Amino acid sequence: MRNLIIFIRQYFNFLLFVALEIFCLTMVLRDNNFQHTAYLNSSEAITAWIYKKYNDVQYYFKLKDTNDSLVAQNTRLLNQLAVDFDRPDTTGRTVTDTSSGRKYQYLYARVVNNSVNSPNNYITIHRGRLQNVKPDMGVISPSGVAGIVRSVSDNYAVVMSVLNRQTSISARIDSGYTGTVAWQPLQNAVHGILKDIPKSARIKKGDPVVTSGFSTLFPPGIPIGYVEKISDKGTGIFHTITIRFATNFYNLQYVYIIGDLGGNEQKTLEATETQ
């Protein structure tokens, strides 16, 4: 026993070093698990508060671009108003109330921090648990898909940006084929890749890539990006497609969080099938 104490005292520094190193590496390895909710992150009170203060200043300098993107989105939404469409003739048949069938609900949030240049990028937003934000909700910018909520605190949430190694978003191209959008750390914040589109699909530069609506995260038809380059090498059965993201990640000021009102039912059903 005495020898043990002497041993510990003699090698105290080394043992402390090893213990802390194991502690750190455990955190790193646990964090690689996609489902795990990180507890030390930028949604925590102090870091989020500091990011918010910084953003209050920085926000001012980007007002012009923010305005432009919001005006563009307003225009698009105005074009979808019910008043702009001819109603069908309903005199001959019964029309049931359709407003109860609402599936998605949007909540706007201010971006307080956004990184674009690490291998795994995150966005911190000023909305949290108290505003009904939950992990695994989709997040879109005024111009396209932005990310997926990963962890929440009372008033802040951390969003896994599309610019993340773990990104995998179900996507559809005009001709109806579906694939997966991913991002690789060697790419910049402008380009991503579209995988799993068979070579039989006819595509050309500039084609829009939109969400498929298969997952409960995003409604169908939200822009993800546009086809930039098709580089087919070898004899694989899939295209290699580079896309340009619809969202400008360098200048992200407002985002919308998508709450899927019927999502749990779909998830539960799918979970029972895959077991």
List binders of other proteins among 58-117 (CB under 8 A): 115-117
Residue 49 binds other proteins, judged by CB under 8 A: no
Site for other proteins in 154-183 (CB under 8 A): 158, 165
Report the residue number, 22 or 72, with the smaller CB distance to other proteins: 22
Per CB under 8 A, the list member of 8, 27, 71, 261 interacting with other proteins is 27
Among 7, 8, 10, 30, binds other proteins (CB under 8 A): 30
Angle at 202 between CA 209 and CA 210, to 5 degrees: 10
Residue with tokens 């510990």: 8
Q: Which residues of 128-144 are buried (b: 16+ CB within 10 A; e: fewer)?
A: beeeebeeebbbbbbbb
Locus of tokens 């209050």: 56
Provide the angle, in degrees to the nearest 10, between the axes of the packed helices 45-61 and 63-78. 90
Task: Tell me: does residue 47 bind other proteins (CB under 8 A).
Answer: yes
| Cα 78 from Cα 102, distance rounded (Å) | 19
Stretch that binds other proteins, among 18-26, 69-77, 168-176, 252-260 (CB under 8 A): 18-26
Between 4 and 46, CB nearer to other proteins:
46
Alpha-carbon span 114 to 130, nearest angstrom: 22
Question: Could you list the residues that contact other proteins (CB under 8 A)?
Answer: 12-14, 16-17, 20-21, 23-28, 30-31, 38, 40-42, 44, 46-47, 50-51, 54, 115-120, 122, 158, 165, 184-186, 188
